[in-house]
Amino acid sequence: MKGYYGVILEVDLTQGKVEKKELPEEDALKFVGGRGLGTKIVWDHLKKPYIDPLSPENPLIFAAGPFSGYPFPSASRVTVVTKSPMTSPVKPPAKTASTIGYSNMGGFFGPAIRFAGYDAIVITGRASSPVYLVIDGDKVDIRDAGRIWSKKASELEELLPLELKGEGFETCYIGPAGENLVRYAAIIHTVGRAAGRAGVGCVMGSKRLKAIAVRGKKLPPVANHKEYLKILEELRKKFASSPSTARWRRYGTAYALLSSSDRGTQAVKNYREGTFLEIDRIGGVAAEEELWVRDTACYACPLGCKKIGVVRTGRYAGTIAEGPEYETGTMLGANLLVSNLDGLMREIADVDDYGLDQISTGNVIGFLMEAYDKGLIDKAFLDGIDLRWGDVEAVLSMIKKIAYREGVGDIAADGLNPLVEKIGEKTAEFAIQVKGHPLAAWNVHTRLTQGLCYATANRGACHLNGHSARSQDFNAFIDSTGICRFASGIYSREGISKALSAITGEAWTIEDCRKTGERIFNLEKCFNYREGFRREDDEIPERFFTEPLTIGPRKGAVIKRDQFKELLDKYYRERGWDVKTTKPSPAKLRALGLDFIIKGLGD
């Protein structure tokens, strides 16, 4: 099939072995790339459940998509897929049972994988001492990482070019958090971009792999070159004239800091509220006025949604970071009642620098703040940190403790459930997670479907999952192409299917795209089902049912348990899954071409 190399680079760090493996055409057709293909590769590698996600067996996959490398607008995403080190079922059949993990990242790394001549990179094993990987087209080298180990993101950006001694490498790496196996460590690219969620940086750390550098000069031919050129031209025009392009450019996702707060949908005070009364101090308008210096964009992206800011005066002067975005500004701002914009920037900068997930870090610290506020933990528990709502210095201390697993940070680095175990069962009701994965910056009180989105996401709570089965299917498909979600609306579903047809030479319809997404979603689900995840794992925190919002335009909002249960019942039926257990029916799996997973799925 055109548009692919049909080549997967597989690196076994235990044996120091590098192999080029064939990507079966059937897999490319059925799972496309990115999230879908990555999950299929994980499935093929892990032939049984309960394999320890931090063991050498767990593969860490960097999967580009069929759009990657071509200059299609906003199609730079690469998805990192692995078995998650963050999740566990309510009734674990084994200690090491966990979900699939996937996290996607923009920038230039995805295109670089393709320029080097591969559709995906698979890392297995564990190096005996820290290493980094250099992929220079066909030439692949595993090198000693002695000089760069323990370094932070900003330091690596200085050191890696000296190590690599060549132009044009794209790199991604882990910070101290990944090395220290913080469960929610991120993989960072260009300091400000990250595959942040699902603990992918922790898995990379467990392999003692500090960094990957990739470059190359190739690009696979497309099936229908003339059509490809026509679509490129059309898309470029469409993006240039789309009103949403202008909006992304002006504020990026930060526009939502104000609008979400105004609608009561923001995570505020550890999800207790949906509106932050001081949001105008850290929102997009304030950031534009106070901080932003320039916009940056991912490969061939006309949206330019990344805002680089600098703090010029005061205690945090000299801080340079990307943001605040909606997620970072909410999780480390509104959710912690931080309204000091300069301090918020310092938090964002540090979280990136240490290589943590912005979302999980803000969520975990919010949990600790609430426990402290309620007197369930004291200053001694927090190693002397006075972790009060809105205190930037306290947040900064906590971030560092987590990254280096110092004192209380050692437990906090393991995530919410271990903290609940340590502090006490009554804190469970405000541990804002699903399947062990912390919720993101969108609150649930006002919207039943937001609850469904989090509850049914295959990596654990995920704001990008989708609010209905249909949207989840399309989203899973888009995540497999390399196209950015911010841009998929401008493409339109028809536009994406036409472009994919021109690239591959296969006739893709909109329904093919949806069905492929459904296949991918079901494969992920089956992975989880095999690990022991059942209906009781699709539960959202108590807070959203029992503690109505007390401030803002949606004061009093709360979701109803029976309505939520009804919505889930309907959802499972629509999916063709058993309503009691959530097990996908053999008929559904057969219809999706997933016959190979029916056997061995368990009861």
Partner 1 sequence: MEEREGLFVPEFLAKNSLSRREFVKSALIGSGTLAFGGFLVKAEEKQGTGGEKPRYSLVIVDYNKCTGCRTCEAVCSQANERVIIDGEELLGLGNPAEARVKVVSYNFPPVDVPNRCLECPDAPCIEACPVSPDPNTGRKALYRDEKTLAIKNDPERCIGCGNCARACEQKRVGIIKQDKKTGRPTTLCTLCEGDPQCVRYCPYDALTHFTGDGRHFALSPDKIAKRLAELWYYSGNREVGR
Contact residues toward partner 1 (CB under 8 A) are 69-71, 73, 108, 115, 153-154, 157-158, 167, 190-192, 216-219, 221-222, 225-226, 228-229, 232, 236, 239-240, 288, 292-302, 304, 306, 308, 310, 312-313, 317-318, 320, 322
Cβ 44 to partner 1, closest distance in Å? 31
Cβ 330 to partner 1, closest distance in Å? 23
Check if the beta carbon of residue 292 is closer than 8 Å to that of residue 304. no
Distances (CA, A) of 510 to 23, 50, 418, 575: 24, 36, 43, 18
d(C-alpha 403, C-alpha 422), whole Å = 19
Cβ 163 to partner 1, closest distance in Å? 14
Tokens of 493: 């579903």
Of residues 259 and 296, the one with the C-beta less far from partner 1: 296
Residue 304 φ then ψ, to 5°: 50, 50
> How many helical (H) and strand (E) elements, i.e. helices and strands, does the chain have?
24, 17
DSSP 311-353: --SSTTTT-EEE---HHHHHHTTGGGT---HHHHHHHHHHHHH
Of residues 294 and 470, the one with the C-beta less far from partner 1: 294
d(C-alpha 427, C-alpha 430), whole Å = 6
Cβ 10 to partner 1, closest distance in Å? 24
Cβ 355 to partner 1, closest distance in Å? 14
Of residues 8 and 301, the one with the C-beta less far from partner 1: 301
Place of tokens 């001081």: 278
Of residues 307 and 543, the one with the C-beta less far from partner 1: 307
Cβ 150 to partner 1, closest distance in Å? 17
Of residues 48 and 217, the one with the C-beta less far from partner 1: 217
Q: Is 290 left (phi over 0), alpha (psi -120 to 50) or beta?
A: alpha
Of residues 219 and 579, the one with the C-beta less far from partner 1: 219
Of residues 159 and 507, the one with the C-beta less far from partner 1: 159
Check if the beta carbon of residue 190 is closer than 8 Å to that of residue 38. no
- 579: buried, middle or exposed (CB in 10 Å: 19+, 13-18, 0-12)? middle
Q: Which residues contact 204 (CB under 8 A, 6 or more apart)?
A: 60, 123, 174, 178, 185, 187
Q: Which residues contact 471 (CB under 8 A, 6 or more apart)?
A: none
Cβ 393 to partner 1, closest distance in Å? 23
Side-chain-side CA neighbours of 376 within 13 Å: the count stands at 18
Of residues 43 and 292, the one with the C-beta less far from partner 1: 292
Q: Residue 495: how many CB atoms within 10 A of its CB?
A: 17
Question: At 190, is the secondary structure helix, strand, or coil?
Answer: coil
Check if the beta carbon of residue 268 is closer than 8 Å to that of residue 275. yes
Cβ 148 to partner 1, closest distance in Å? 14
Of residues 2 and 515, the one with the C-beta less far from partner 1: 2
Of residues 229 and 587, the one with the C-beta less far from partner 1: 229
Cβ 312 to partner 1, closest distance in Å? 5
Tokens of 467: 């609010």
d(C-alpha 579, C-alpha 570), whole Å = 8
Cβ 189 to partner 1, closest distance in Å? 9
